[in-house]
Amino acid sequence: MSLRLRLLLAVGAIAIVALVVADVATYSALRSSLYSQIDQELSQHESRFFVDSTGAVRCPSPRSEFGGTPTAAGPGAGPGPNDGDGGSANIFGISYISVVNQHGDVVQGLECPAYVGDHPYRPSLPSTITGFTTQSDGTQAVYFTTGSIAQGGPSFRVRAQKLSGGDVFVQAQTIGDQTSTLHTLFLIELAVTAGALVFALAAGWWLVRLGLRPLEDVERTADSIAAGNLDQRVPGAEKPTEVGRLAKALNVMLERIQTAFAARLASEARLKESEHHLRQFVADASHELRTPIAAVSAYAELFERGAAQHSDDLPRVVSGIRTETARMDRLVTDLLTLARLDEGVPMQKAPVELVSLASEAVRTATAVGPEWPVRFWAARPVEVIGDQDRLRQVIDNLLANVRAHTPPGTAATVRVDQVGEEAEVEVRDTGPGMPAEEARHVFERFYRADPARARTSGGSGLGLSIVAAIVAAHSGTVSATSAPGLGMTVTVRIPMSTVELDEEQAEAGGTPESAA
């Protein structure tokens, strides 16, 4: 059963209960009011027994009340010879009067019927009348409703009052008019209830459809999302209603689902890319190690073939083995450094003053490769939070890259400065340079601008990759710009820590100095 039908049935049930309760209350209140009026009339009714000159009891009739001949009282009394059916209402207000004993029998014929039209009727009294209560005037009386002795006769409202001798004085008034009024009220209530129920169901159907329309929007949005459109959102989230709050909660959930789904796709893409890079890395590393291993194997074979007996060849063999072993050691060290950086091994971070660090790296580079002069320039002290040894390795690798890929005599300049909230280290050389397209790939692992170049020259292709990994671990960036014949410029930027400078420090450090 749908929610719409359940709500409609609930509205119908509530409407029926409310209407029935109202109808019963109205009907009961009117009946009580009508019966109270009759009871008041009966309590004020006077006895209408007539006694003629012979001592016989005579009862009133329509004719005797209004100029006719009274009829004799008693159980056998009936309408006179000229009586006819004058109608269905007691238009003359003649009530039933009798005196009965404790067993319900009429005492000495003291009984007068009530008339409806021209017909006399008597109420059907119980054999024993009980339930008397003391009234406001001190008498003991009881009121009840009963039918007629004659089949098809009217109903009566009866008042029974105890007399001093134990007998009971009974008065009864026909309630045909009241019954007709109540019956008319019942039919009116039935018609109004049916109409109100139909209206309530129709209005409830419209209101339920109007109220559930936002849920239909939720359903359509859910179907769209299930079809793969994760950008869909439930409308009406800004409304301060229950459905509005539901739409807002669903939209928040959809945002999180979309974010999680996007993160999953990105993770899968990174995983695939990492797998590709790993395969390429392993292949490149194997290729890089193959050359020195082959060289060592060749030197060992040469030694076995007779170098041991020829002392002139022995120094060349030992020197070759030592050179290739050192090359393998550098390559393995570089690979280990990259592996640790990829694993996110924590660094020993502390305040590092870059000017003094770069100055030491320049002096070392000048001592190692005097054929490549290096100049150093700094305008002010620049301090960052980082690993001092790793930051020194960045500058050493950049200067080693100059020595490895430029001819002797190529000059280089190292500049340290502050740019906004970042520390900038720039290494610029005057070498042959390379196309800009190739310069964008120099930080990739094992990348060589000239793939045909022998592995014995130009390094392993990991120096700048280590630079990029170290800078990334310090939340920095590194870039390279170059053009044929214009040399290469590598720029490293790292977020600064606190910088405390004054004008004197800036002026003191603003003079370029040469470390050549």
Mean pLDDT, the chain cut into blocks of 10 residues (516 residues total) = 78 89 93 90 69 59 52 42 41 76 81 83 88 86 91 89 87 88 92 90 83 75 76 74 78 83 84 69 62 71 64 69 72 68 71 92 89 92 89 89 90 92 92 85 69 47 80 90 90 73 42 40
**In the block, residue with structure tokens 């014995």:** 456
Contact yes or no for 364/396 (Cβ under 8 A):
yes
Q: Give me the long-range contacts of 35-39 (CB less than 8 A, separation at least 24).
A: 35/143, 35/145, 35/157, 35/175, 35/178, 38/157, 38/173, 38/175, 38/178, 39/143, 39/157, 39/159
pLDDT at 345: 62
Contact yes or no for 380/411 (Cβ under 8 A):
no
| Lookup: tokens for 436 | 């800009």
pLDDT at 405: 87
Q: Domains in the chain, start-ordered, CATH in brackets?
A: 45-174 (no CATH), 346-514 (3.30.565.10)
pLDDT at 165: 80
Catalogue the E-assigned strands of 177-267. none
- The CA distance from 335 to 452, in Å, is 22
- The CA distance from 501 to 63, in Å, is 133
pLDDT at 489: 93
pLDDT at 18: 92
pLDDT at 80: 38
Pairing type for strands 374-378 and 412-419 reads: parallel
pLDDT at 453: 43
* Angstrom distances, CA of residue 85 to CA of 15, 39, 59, 82, 89: 46, 27, 19, 10, 10
